């Protein structure tokens, strides 16, 4: 198991290969459909949100306020990433992202941006909202809560040993492309 | 209606946080069957741990608590208007308690008012019968798996699918191939052969009320169900699309009449986080027994 802490260097990210199991510690920012469209259309980030050398997590968590008025993440698995394919490549380039966490994988434009910039796609287990929420130790801030609603807001989260697998690396390799090709060939034999 | 409201909140809590036993057993079997020390096996282990944690904490198995779909089978005298009003109140209460995410968005304005109540949410399907019992079943279906559902119109030249069972088989397997890992596999298919575009999807989702280990009473459909699961599991898509032995945990197929001009095959995909629960209610609206 590889341990990585944010912010990442290009060198550490370039060292990762498809199939590597990684545990991430540090800061991640959630961002999903509304955030990606907003940024792609030229929307500005609040100055506290610094994505450079960092991670965007495709996630719409369940977040509750506890008795002391503190935010607590009670469920936080990944959402399907492919919906961000029209926007992701540009956002990786514009903001200098080093990692994207999501599920289901992404397409060629994202893979190209990963190769150009030095970024990887980390696959978390879809639906594992409790295991992953346990790895979130605190909520540091939230942005666009009112404008975008809770699932679509940018949540700044501190994570500890958050388990993921590299399924798209910065060398042009994608597990998703491989599995699509092999399963397509296998189905042809079974029709 | 107070008793009914608290029964429905409890039904929502249980559905959101406790995976049905039949589904859990199927996941455990797939874990044992998966090749050791692979990322597919590791994913299934996380899934198994997640199932236990959600139950222990009474928190959502998956943060996408999904479309809220009630199926009510009732005596003739049930007040359906009152039931639906109570269901909406129960959904709002369950959301405040964190059993449901603030998950319902106005499609025109993008506003999420945090209540989970609006046109179409929750959806309530009533079926009356002449007996005295009232049963309420609930499916919570996440958006990731909903997005990989598909509806085919036969014949489909590209897939060489004609208007027969072999054509149905081809398009169902194509839907599995197109879904890859995007719907949080290992998945479960609900399929309707026939119907119109609306009823086809509706019947396909009703298949999710069946238990995974039941068998179809129509022999040709039973055979097709077994064949789809077996063939899909030869494709090597695997848990999360990581590659591996289990792509589907089950397939449930029904047939509905169609027009001579139409031949739809409607396929709904359910993720491994298959949230389904049901209760039998007494006349006061209290829970008599659990159905799954």
Q: Summarize pLDDT for B239-292 with one digit per residue, the tens.
A: 999 999 999 999 999 999 999 999 999 999 999 999 999 999 999 999 999 999
Share of chain A above pLDDT 90, in %: 100
CA distance B258 to chain A (A): 25
Q: Nearest by CB to A127, from B47, B111, B241: name it.
A: B47
Q: Does B248 touch chain A (CB under 8 A)?
A: no
Judge whether residue B1 has pLDDT over 80: no
**In 3-state terms, what secondary structure has residue B56?**
helix
User: What pLDDT does B30 receive?
Assistant: 98
**Which residue in A has a C-alpha nearest to residue B147's C-alpha?**
A80
Q: Does A64 touch chain B (CB under 8 A)?
A: yes
Crossing angle for the helix pair B2-17 and B39-57, to the nearest 10 degrees: 160
**Could you say which of A36, A58, A143, A176 is catalytic?**
A36
Provide the number of CB pairs (under 8 Å) joining chain A to chain B. Answer: 167
Q: What is the pTM of this model?
A: 0.97
Which residues of chain A make contact with B160, given a CB cutoff of 8 A?
191
Instruction: Check A150 against B170: CB less than 8 A apart.
Output: no
Q: Does A161 touch chain B (CB under 8 A)?
A: no
Residue B159, CA distances (Å) to A63, B155, B174, B193, B275 in order: 44, 9, 8, 17, 32
Structural domain including A180 reads 2-6+9-189
**In 3-state terms, what secondary structure has residue B95?**
helix
Q: What is the DSSP letter of B286?
A: -
User: What pLDDT does A77 receive?
Assistant: 97
Confidence of residue B7 (pLDDT cuts 50, 70, 90): very high
Which residues of chain A make contact with B237, given a CB cutoff of 8 A?
179, 183
Q: Nearest by CB to B181, from A19, A74, A105: name it.
A: A105
Judge whether residue B46 has pLDDT over 90: yes
Please state the separation of Cα A187 from the chain's center in Å.
31
What CATH number is associated with residue A72?
A: 3.20.130.10
Which residues of chain A make contact with B60, given a CB cutoff of 8 A?
62, 74-75, 129-130
pLDDT per position as a tens digit, B111-161: 999 999 999 999 999 999 999 999 999 999 999 999 999 999 999 999 999
The rounded distance, in Å, linking the Cα atoms of A171 and B175 is 30
CA distance B2 to chain A (A): 25
User: What pLDDT does B66 receive?
Assistant: 98
Instruction: Check A62 against B63: CB less than 8 A apart.
Output: yes
Residues A166-187, mean pLDDT to the nearest whole number: 98
User: What pLDDT does A173 receive?
Assistant: 98
Phi then psi dihedrals of residue B229, to 5 deg: -65, -45
User: What pLDDT does B45 receive?
Assistant: 98
Q: Does A186 touch chain B (CB under 8 A)?
A: yes
User: What pLDDT does B51 receive?
Assistant: 98
Instruction: Check B98 against A64: CB less than 8 A apart.
Output: yes
Average pLDDT of chain B? 97
The rounded distance, in Å, linking the Cα atoms of B70 and B58 is 20
Q: What is the 3-state secondary structure (H, E, C) of chain A?
A: CEEEECCCCHHHHHCCCCCCEEEEEEEEEECCHHHHHHHHCCCCCCCCCCCCCCEEECCCCEEEECCCCCEEEEECCCCEHHHHHHHHHHHHHHHCCCEEEEECCCCHHHHHHHHHHCCEEEECCCCCHHHHHHCEEEEEEEECHHHHCCCCCEEEEEEEEEEEEEEECCCCCEHHHHHHHHHHHHHHHCC
Instruction: Check A187 against B242: CB less than 8 A apart.
Output: no
Residues B61-82, mean pLDDT to the nearest whole number: 97
Whether B65 and B143 have beta carbons less than 8 Å apart is answered as: no
Judge whether residue A29 has pLDDT over 90: yes
Which residues of chain A make contact with B242, given a CB cutoff of 8 A?
123, 165, 167, 175, 179
User: What pLDDT does B283 receive?
Assistant: 93
Which residues of chain A make contact with B234, given a CB cutoff of 8 A?
186, 190
The full set of domains in chain B, from first to last, is 2-15+61-142+275-290 (3.30.360), 144-270 (no CATH)
Residues A11-23, mean pLDDT to the nearest whole number: 98
Share of chain B above pLDDT 70, in %: 100
Instruction: Check A149 against B241: CB less than 8 A apart.
Output: no
Judge residue B187's burial from the number of C-beta atoms within 10 Å of its C-beta, 0-12 exposed, 13-18 middle, 19 or more buried.
Answer: buried
Judge whether residue B227 has pLDDT over 80: yes
Instruction: List, in sequence order, the alpha helices (H) in B58-102.
Output: 80-96
Residue B197, CA distances (Å) to B11, B84, B96, B193, B194 in order: 30, 25, 35, 11, 9
Substitution target in B12, B35, B64, B232 with the highest count of A β-carbons within 10 Å is: B64
Residues B36-65, mean pLDDT to the nearest whole number: 98
Q: Does B143 touch chain A (CB under 8 A)?
A: yes
Q: Does A123 touch chain B (CB under 8 A)?
A: yes
B132's CB contacts (< 8 A; 6+ apart) are B75
Residues A144-153, mean pLDDT to the nearest whole number: 97
Q: Is residue A36 flagged as an active site residue? A: yes
Domain count, chain A: 1
Whether B230 and B172 have beta carbons less than 8 Å apart is answered as: no
Instruction: Check A183 against B180: CB less than 8 A apart.
Output: yes
């Amino acid at each position: 198991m590889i341990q990585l802490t944010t912010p990442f260097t290009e060198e550490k990210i370039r060292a990762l290969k498809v199939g590597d199991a990684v545990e991430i510690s540090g800061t991640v920012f959630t961002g999903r459909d509304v955030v990606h469209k907003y940024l792609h259309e030229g929307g500005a980030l609040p100055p506290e949100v610094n994505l450079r050398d960092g991670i965007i997590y495709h996630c719409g968590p369940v977040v509750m306020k506890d008795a002391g008025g503190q935010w607590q993440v009670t469920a936080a698995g990944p959402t399907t990433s492919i919906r961000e394919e029209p926007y992701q490549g540009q956002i990786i380039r514009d903001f200098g992202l080093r990692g994207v966490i999501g599920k289901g994988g992404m397409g060629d434009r994202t893979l190209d941006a990963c190769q150009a910039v030095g970024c990887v796609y980390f696959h978390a287990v879809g639906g594992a909202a409790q295991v992953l929420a346990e790895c979130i130790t605190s909520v540091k801030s939230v942005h666009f809560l009112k404008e975008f609603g809770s699932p679509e807001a940018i949540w700044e989260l501190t994570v500890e040993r958050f388990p993921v697998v590299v399924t798209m690396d910065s060398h042009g390799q994608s597990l998703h492309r491989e599995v699509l090709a092999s399963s397509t060939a296998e189905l042809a034999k079974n029709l | 209606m107070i008793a009914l409201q608290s029964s429905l909140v409890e039904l929502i809590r249980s559905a959101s946080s406790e995976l049905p036993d039949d589904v859990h057993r199927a996941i455990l079997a797939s874990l044992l069957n998966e090749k050791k020390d692979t990322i597919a096996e590791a994913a299934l282990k996380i899934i198994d741990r997640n199932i236990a944690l959600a139950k222990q904490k009474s928190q959502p198995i998956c943060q996408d608590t999904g479309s809220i779909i009630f199926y009510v089978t009732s005596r003739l005298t049930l007040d359906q208007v009152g039931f639906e009003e109570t269901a909406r109140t129960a959904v709002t209460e369950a959301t405040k308690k964190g059993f449901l995410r603030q998950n319902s968005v106005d499609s025109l304005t993008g506003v999420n008012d945090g209540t989970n109540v609006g046109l179409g949410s929750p959806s309530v399907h009533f079926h009356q019968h002449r007996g005295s019992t009232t049963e309420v079943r609930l499916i919570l279906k996440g958006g990731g798996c909903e997005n990989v559902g598909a509806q085919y119109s036969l014949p489909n030249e590209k897939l060489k699918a004609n208007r027969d069972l072999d054509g149905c088989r081809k398009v169902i397997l194509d839907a599995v191939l197109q879904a890859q890992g995007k719907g949080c596999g290992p998945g479960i298919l609900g399929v309707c052969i026939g119907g119109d575009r609306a009823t086809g999807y509706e019947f396909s989702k009703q298949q999710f009320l069946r238990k995974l280990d039941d068998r179809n009473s129509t022999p040709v459909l039973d055979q097709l169900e077994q064949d789809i699961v077996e063939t899909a599991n030869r494709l090597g898509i695997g848990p999360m699309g990581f590659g591996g032995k289990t792509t589907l945990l089950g397939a449930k197929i029904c047939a509905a009449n169609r027009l001579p001009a139409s031949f739809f095959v409607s396929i709904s995909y359910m993720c491994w986080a298959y949230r389904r629960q049901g209760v039998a209610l007494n006349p006061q609206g209290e829970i008599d027994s659990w159905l799954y």
